Amino acid sequence: MSNIILKIDNVQKSFGGLKALSDLNLEIEEGKVHAIIGPNGAGKSTMLNVCIGQLAPDSGTVTFHGENMIGKSPHEINQAGISRVFQTPEIFPDLSLLQNVMIPAFAKHEGAFKMNLLCSLSNESAIQDEACHILEDIGLTAQLHTHAGSLSRGDKRRLELAMCLVQHPKLLLLDEPTAGMARHDTNKTIELLKKIKERGMTKIIIEHDMHVVFSVADHISVLAQGTIIASGTPDDIRGNPKVQEAYLGGAHL
């Protein structure tokens, strides 16, 4: 029996009259890739927002490594070991690719605040090497010094992934990492996800593309109308008639 790294307990969240999350319960095992699937508006992104402190739930708890995360600020949650790739890429458009990756590396090494006002950036070769290394993995080295804002949408997504990976998070949250990507880019991302799977990082991945889900996930949960309606191994989910009806529209997988 492996460890539960993240536990979502009875989380509720309403926006006005709309119940985005109702009685949400979820357990994530350490070292596993856990996919969350579900129709648009099911509350998948909202769930991640609650996990990283962007939204406060109306009730319920989120426990990470045995510690309650509710009420902590986003930077504390990140420092505890959770990084997230957003549904729309959140990068630093005015900085170079290298700097984009160095910033999260600094956060990992220096903590939430450090006043190294007068040190020179060019002396930070260890951080720089680390950032270059990750960018190499992602395949973005050719453009180390270009502005991140000028990248294509697919490349921005991959850059954001690099920014998260450089932190070696205990838990990585991926919100539709292949949405809007061409087939070719999607395949590249799948390769990448498989590669980082070998490193034993726990991941939650929200994804619409079933091809991606079934090629990387160890465990799948189906979210509909703010609550988990099914959970199991990919084979369980594939054969579950309830899931096929609610989400997959009866189509055979």
Partner 1 sequence: MKSPTIKNDMFVMLIFSAIILSMPIWLKPLGAGYPDLLQKFAIFGIFAVGYNILFGLTGYLSFGHAAFLGIGSYTAVWSFKLLTMNVFPALIFSVLLSGLFAMLIGFITLRRSGIYFSILTLAFAQMFYNLAYSVLTPITNGETGLQLARGDARIIDRLFSDAGEGLPSTNFFGLEMSGYSGFYVCAVLLIIAFFISQRIFHSPFGIKLRAIKSNQTRMKYTGYNTRPYLLTAFVISGMYAGLAGGLMAATDPLAGAERMQWTASGEVVLMTILGGVGTLIGPMLGVGIIKYFENIFSSLNDQALLQAYSFMPDWLANIMVTITSPFVGEGWHLTLGALFVLIVVFLPGGIMEGVSLIKKRFSKTQANTETGKS
Ligand X SMILES: Nc1ncnc2c1ncn2[C@@H]1O[C@H](COP(=O)(O)OP(=O)(O)O)[C@@H](O)[C@H]1O
Under the rule (CB under 8 A), what is the footprint of partner 1?
Answer: 52, 54, 73-75, 78-79, 83-84, 90-96, 99, 102-104, 106-108, 110-122, 124, 145-147, 163, 167
- β-sheet bridge partners, residue 204: 34, 173
Per-residue mark of binding to ligand X, 19-48 (x: CB under 6 A): -x-----------------x-xxxxxxx--
In contact, 85 and 174? CB cutoff 8 Å: yes
> Among 21, 26, 45, 243, which residue sits at the site for Mg ion (rule: CB under 5 A)?
45
Residue 114 CB, shortest distance to partner 1, in Å, is 8
User: Which one of ligand X, Mg ion, partner 1, none interacts with residue 8, CB within 5 to 8 A by kind?
Assistant: none
Question: Number of residues in contact with ligand X, rule: CB under 6 A?
Answer: 11
In contact, 140 and 174? CB cutoff 8 Å: no
Q: Is 49 in the site for Mg ion (CB under 5 A)?
A: no
Residue 132 CB, shortest distance to partner 1, in Å, is 12
Number of CB atoms found within 10 A of residue 208's CB: 14
Q: Which stretch binds ligand X (CB under 6 A): 12-20, 143-151, 192-200, 233-241?
A: 12-20
String of b and e for 54-92 (b: at least 16 CB within 10 Å)?
ebebeebebbbbeeebbebeeeebbebbbbbbbbebebb
Residue 111 or 139 with smaller CB distance to partner 1: 111
Q: Mark residue 111 as left, alpha or beta (left: phi above 0; alpha: psi -120 to 50; beta: remaining).
A: left
Dihedral sign for Cα 220, 223, 227, 230, please.
negative
User: Which one of ligand X, partner 1, Mg ion, none interacts with residue 35, CB within 5 to 8 A by kind?
Assistant: none
> Which helix H or strand E contains 157, and what residues bound it?
helix 153-165
Report the SS3 class of residue 160: helix
Residue 46 or 128 with smaller CB distance to ligand X: 46
CA–CA gap between residue 24 and residue 205 (Å, rounded):
17
User: Which one of ligand X, partner 1, Mg ion, none interacts with residue 238, CB within 5 to 8 A by kind?
Assistant: none
Residue 2 or 120 with smaller CB distance to partner 1: 120
Residues that bind ligand X (CB under 6 A): 15, 18, 20, 38, 40-46
